[in-house]
Amino acid sequence: MEVVEVVVIGAGQAGLSAAYHLQRLGVSPFVVLDANDAPGGAWQHRWDSLTMHDVHGVADLPGMPLGAVEPDARANEVVPAYFAAYEERLGLPVVRPVRVRSVVPVDDAPDGLLRVEATAGTWLARSVVNATGTWETPFRPYYPGAETFRGRQLHTADYTGPDDLAGLRVVVVGGGASAVQILGELAPVAQTRWVTRREPVWRSGPFTEDAGRQAVALVEDRVARGLVPQSVVSVTGLSLRPQEARAAELGAYERRPMFERIEADGVRWADGSFEPADVILWATGFRPTVGHLAPLRLRSEHGGIRLRAPYDRHTFTTSTADPRIHFVGYGPSASTIGANRAGRAAARAVLDQLHQAQTKRDGEAQPA
């Protein structure tokens, strides 16, 4: 059983950013536990046809810019290679593959140790930075008749690219950016139908810095109140990129409301209309991967994890239920740029927490 000051769970964009700032602040020892076999976080699992041109630019990790890359290069190759070089150059203490099973308080003291139980052993820590993101928790809603469908049901996490679905009839479910991107690829080579619960909100004009701040503020408000976070993208609105123009010409973005049930060969709406389908592709998003934190009982009465901003009103990272637990890549920081900023704020919050705990221990050790 290893004793460390901090355990960072996850080595994606958020976890590496937090690790960089912990190292810069002199927090030692700490360890980064990553469930993947190799560097790259969720990027290594993205579909092959997703290029660097498609991902709106990847935010540089602190202290080591990515630099120029070929726009047609595969994102699931470029970004993992960048993360691997980053870990090596900075000498970050990443251990993999290690899947964390649970985080359990050793005693009832609010500043006591936490036991991090994982597949490769157990760590005792005074602080935990949770950077597990969402990729491992895809959300697949259930609709009546789903078990009778004779075709394929895929989630965005299972999508490998348009070639696999060429010539097929594909119902794409979901109103987010992933659905728009996938339809852009599929419509020229397959018969598609777009289905969403709500009418899509399209953004007119460029996405400004002020609009970004307003969008993040809406998500911040939710985590401050302990509500289940929405993604930043969900409140920014959708837009079409030049590479999706052909799909738009083909009518791919003419949306239908959600169907009522799934049948063996397709989907049926309440008005009796029917859409035959070979594939239902659920582009229905992901949920935060936080099941390992269940023993800490961090969820509020609203179902989310309530966070506070230790340093400024725009960076919510610290659990209000347990100040030893810090989040990056959750809620308003669930984006590449947001994760970098949250990594710095979380590292500073950890340092303060550790100092306060040490001061308390020193005071208790003084003779009466």
Q: Which CATH class is domain 2-136+286-365?
A: alpha beta
Environment class of 264 (CB within 10 Å of its CB; exposed 0-12, middle 13-18, buried 19+):
exposed
Is 146-202+238-282 in the same CATH topology as 2-136+286-365?
A: yes
Distance CA 67, CA 54 (A): 17
pLDDT digits (tens, 9 = 90+) for 256-293: 999 999 999 999 999 999 999 999 999 999 999 999 99
pTM of the full structure = 0.87
279: nearest Cα among 193, 366, 179:
193
Q: Per-domain residue ranges for the chain?
A: 2-136+286-365, 146-202+238-282
Sheet of 191-196, strands arranged across: 152-155, 279-282, 169-173, 191-196, 256-257
pLDDT digits (tens, 9 = 90+) for 197-241: 989 888 766 555 566 666 666 677 777 777 777 666 666 678 888
Backbone angles phi, psi at 325, to 5 degrees: -110, 125
Q: Which one of 10-14, 335-339, 362-366 scores highest in mean pLDDT?
A: 10-14
The pLDDT assigned to 331 comes to 76
Contact between 78 and 67 (Cβ < 8 Å): no
Give the range among 94-108, 199-213, 243-257 with minimum mean pLDDT. Answer: 199-213
Distance CA 48, CA 69 (A): 16
Choice between 83 and 340, residue whose per-residue pLDDT is larger: 83
What is the band of 367 on the pLDDT scale with cuts at 50, 70, 90? Answer: low
Place of tokens 């399209």: 202
Distance CA 356, CA 271 (A): 63
The pLDDT assigned to 213 comes to 61
146-202+238-282 — its CATH code?
3.50.50.60
